[in-house]
Chain A
Amino acid sequence: MTAANPEFEAECIRRILGGEKQLFHELIRPCERAIYFLLLSLLKNETEAEDAAQETAIKVYLNLKNFRGDSQFRTWVLSIARNEGLGRLRKIGTRREDSLEAETNEQMGDYTPAILTSWREIPMEALEQKELGEILRKAIDGLPEIYRNIVLLRDIEEMDIRETATALGVSEGTVKVRLHRARAMLQRELAPQLKAFAPRRRGLFGGRA
């Protein structure tokens, strides 16, 4: 992720609106990943998500003069992406069951962590292995939609809580609660599996890193 740079964005927007249209490529580039993964999490289909991402970029371009600068540029872009995604879902008429289920049952569920004491070190080198990436993606795909969106924006795109809340149209409190539950679910699902990738240098009860 590229860190947001409000001065660069404001300058870029001013110049694009002044006629230097090619600068739009540079303006949108840092947002590409977030746009795509937000849409993928909504639409669950790579082709559809890519098409919606392109549509989002075009809408951003055509509406650039309406950006008021009262939120971060990327936040504004992501709310356009979200509307694009939701519009498509409505058209297909398939807001998936899991999201509806999760909306109504938000208070329920087991957020007790997986108890294990032998996995301490992050297996960063194991990320080179395809298998680990698969396990992580599968776990995130398996989250109910309301949690998946939050993880994608907050933990994968590393947006802050406020930005995540604005982009998804929920309160900051909601982001915090859902983030907590999502991470608890991921820990529960992943910790026992990821243990296998950890380097085996430490004993079972080695000290904290």
Chain B
Amino acid sequence: MRIDCKHVWEHISAYIDDEVDAQLRADIDRHLETCEICSAVLDSTRNVVVLVADDRVFELPAGFSERLHERIDEEIIRAS
């Protein structure tokens, strides 16, 4: 089936997560082969997903873990 750009955009997130069925994936792939715009939208969306997942983007505050585990130790002692 031929699908249009809007249709592709609607499924981009599911496509990235591999949550589309085989037929839809094939339709989207065929569209991407000839559509420069949609393939760029797909690439840039995927890039955004990869970038936000990087641990360097979201770091815990300095000393967070140490303070958390100290607090847990206090509780372990208190509760026993």
Residues of A within 8 A of B (CB): 21-22, 24-25, 28-29, 32-33, 36-37, 46, 50, 53-54, 57-58, 61-62, 111-124, 127-128, 132-133, 136-137, 140, 151, 155-156, 158, 161, 176, 179-180, 183-184, 186-187, 190-191, 194, 205, 208-209
Cα–Cα, bound, A46→B19 (Å): 34
Q: Can you list 5 A-B contacts with CB-CB less than 8 angstroms, sorted by A residue number?
A: A61-B75, A111-B9, A115-B41, A205-B36, A208-B39
Query: Is B69 at the interface (CB under 8 A from chain A)?
Result: yes
Most buried by B among A118, A122, A123: A122
The count of chain B contact residues (Cβ–Cβ below 8 Å) is: 41
Contacts from B to A (Cβ < 8 Å): 9-10, 12-14, 16-17, 19, 32, 36-37, 39-41, 43-45, 47-54, 56-58, 60-61, 64-65, 67-69, 71-72, 75-76, 79-80
5 closest A-B pairs by CB: A180-B13, A191-B44, A117-B40, A113-B41, A187-B45
Interface centre among B50, B51, B52, B80 (most CB of A within 10 A): B51
Interface of A is mostly: helix
CA–CA, A50 to B17, complex, Å?
31
Instruction: Let me know if B51 and A46 touch, CB within 8 A.
Output: no
A205 to B13 alpha-carbon distance, docked (Å): 23
